Amino acid sequence: MRATLTSFVVLASCLSRALGATYALTDNYVGSTFLSTWVHEAIADPTHGRVNYVDQATAVSKNLTFASGDTLILRADDTTVLSASGPGRDSVRIRSVKTYTTHVAIIDVRHMPQGCGTWPAFWETDGNDWPNGGEVDIAPNAMTLHTGANCNMPASRAETGTPTGLNCDVNTDGNTGCGVQAPTSVSYGPGLNGLGGGWYAMERTNDFIKVWFFPRNGATPSDLSSGAGSIDTDNWGTPTAFFPNTDCDIGSHFDENNIIINLTFCGDWAGAVYGNSGCPGSCVDYVNNNPLAFQNAYWDIAAVRVYE
Ligand SMILES: *[C@@H]1O[C@H](CO)[C@@H](O)[C@H](O)[C@H]1NC(C)=O
Ligand SMILES: *[C@@H]1O[C@H](CO)[C@@H](O)[C@H](O)[C@H]1NC(C)=O
């Protein structure tokens, strides 16, 4: 009887683990799909960037947004010298109309914006209830959570990246959040673009959030790279960043999130690191006066896929 009960319990827990790691494709965003199922947000950058986000009609007419076949290009203006007293550099921020709770989001990216003062991000948040609805960021070299109070990460966890902060609460440490630095410089910028990009995948359950990065030239799980109808994250190996629920109730700190892709300049993030980045002068002056420097400030996205 006892043996039977034990094997039942073992079987049941195997079953729930297997089911927990298997997801089915629910949204396959490719090319012009982004124009009908995501919105361009012509809003002021809450992080004070030297940017002027334009609406979809403007972005398409200026070819800042270009969608065709299996390609979505999102870029900044690279022709205009800006007046110091006028608005920032034209750029694009798009947000999925759909929201997601527990899911896996994959971005297949061929090129990410690079250059002095650029700050691209692929991220998720609840625009109506920040920070209580949570925020997961994938930005140059770091994967970061920003949350309400009482969400902390252990210093030692099963991940290949390196923690840069352990308190995810936006009200501590100047909203730096709990970040994890990728172990490789090919995860963003010229390194990433030089090898044709790669994939980021983010898995969110009520127990943890995991982020994997796979470069285009490496070994990548085939279900992840092929856009398969179903995926099994149990086969993807140690994540680049692992945010467990040991001292953070993930289920209550994260609610329905939209996916957002943006490209800003200077501001709270890129502005803060500009001085140490080997870039000339001040960030805002540079962005105003050097349009040609932004020819590589573009996203080339093959797909965003969401599995639930
Ligand atoms: C762009 O993305 C970052 C995530 O790194 C986010 O914190 C910031 O608010 C965004 N800026 C905007 C609104 O474009
Ligand atoms: C718009 O951008 C795409 C992608 O970079 C390019 O192939 C196309 O030629 C551009 N169209 C115009 C009218 O410049």
Q: Tell me, using a 6 A CB cutoff, whether residue 146 lines ligand 1.
A: no
Counting Cβ atoms within 10 Å, is residue 175 exposed (0-12), middle (13-18) or buried (19+)?
Answer: middle
Place of tokens 């947004």: 65
CA 170 – ligand 1 centroid, Å? 14
Give nearest CA residue, ligand 2 atom 7.
66
Domain residue ranges of the chain, discontinuous segments joined by +? 20-307
Give nearest CA residue, ligand 2 atom 6.
66
Mutate to test the pocket of ligand 2, among 61, 63, 111 (most ligand atoms within 8 A of CB): 63
Domain topology for 20-307: Jelly Rolls (2.60.120)
Residue 292 CA to residue 272 CA, distance in Å, equals 23
| Residue-level pLDDT at 64 | 98
20 in helix, strand or coil?
helix
Residue 120 CA to residue 161 CA, distance in Å, equals 20
> Within the chain, where are the H helices?
2-21, 33-37, 56-61, 189-194, 222-226, 250-253, 267-274, 283-289
- pLDDT tens for residues 257-281? 999 999 999 988 888 889 888 999 9
**Confidence band of 2 (pLDDT split at 50, 70, 90):** very low
Question: Which amino acid is it at 145?
Answer: L
What's the mean per-residue pLDDT of the chain? 93
Give nearest CA residue, ligand 2 atom 10.
63
61 in helix, strand or coil?
helix
| Residue-level pLDDT at 52 | 97
Give the ligand at the shortest distance from the Cα of 45: 1
- pLDDT tens for residues 29-86? 999 999 999 999 999 887 889 999 999 999 999 999 999 999 999 999 999 999 999 9
Q: Count CB-CB contacts under 10 A for residue 112.
A: 29
Q: How far is CA 15 from each of CA 18, 193, 302, 308, rounded to the nearest angstrom?
A: 5, 40, 34, 17
- Bridge partner residues of 95 (DSSP): 39, 260
Give the ligand at the shortest distance from the Cα of 59: 2
Question: Which amino acid is it at 222?
Answer: S
**Predicted TM-score of the model (pTM):** 0.92
Q: Tell me, using a 6 A CB cutoff, whether residue 141 lines ligand 1.
A: no
Mutate to test the pocket of ligand 1, among 47, 147, 180 (most ligand atoms within 8 A of CB): 47
